[in-house]
Amino acid sequence: MFKRSAFILVLTVAPMVSAQDKAPSKAPGSEELGATTDVFTQTDGETIYGTACSGCHGPGGGGAFGAARYPALAGNAKLEVARYPVNLVVEGNGAMPAFGDWLDDEQVAAVVSYIRTAFGNDYTDEVSAEDVARMREDFADLDEG
């Protein structure tokens, strides 16, 4: 993803690695931070949540409140239909950034499955990588339409 960065310039024309390609394990930060410049490298849902999501939504999924909010995921009825969190993770909305370029289908499935069964949520129907791949296509079609 090309950053039109402004406060500073990160014209890092880093090699275009899609989330589907596994980043080389030597990539700086992959072991310590669970991420490279281009992708998140972890695979376990709870671990990905701890790296990518918990800063805003809270370690316990409680959300955060300032001038506006990061919604709580704990006891969040909107998680009932998996397509909703998958859409938000992949495409973003409002204050939620799009993580679709940084997480592959397996990772999206893992983190969505985690938040749908953690924090007191109990939506146990599995979300698979194949489901995520299919939804990504749907979202792209909708965007174009």
Piece in contact with other proteins (CB under 8 A), picked from 48-56, 78-86, 119-127, 133-141: 48-56
CA distance 86 to 100: 9
The dihedral formed by the CA atoms of 29, 32, 35 and 40, expressed in degrees to the nearest 10: 160
Closest CA to 95 of 116, 121, 64, 117: 64
CA distance 73 to 140: 25
Letter for the amino acid at 106? E
Provide the minimum distance between the beta carbon of 50 and other proteins in the complex, in angstroms, as a whole number: 6
Residue 22 as a binder of other proteins (CB under 8 A): the answer is no
Would you give the binding string for other proteins spanning residues 100-119, x where CB under 8 A is met? --x-----------------
Residue 34 as a binder of other proteins (CB under 8 A): the answer is yes
Chain residues that interact with other proteins, rule: CB under 8 A? 1, 3-15, 26-29, 32-40, 50-56, 58, 64-70, 92-95, 97-98, 102
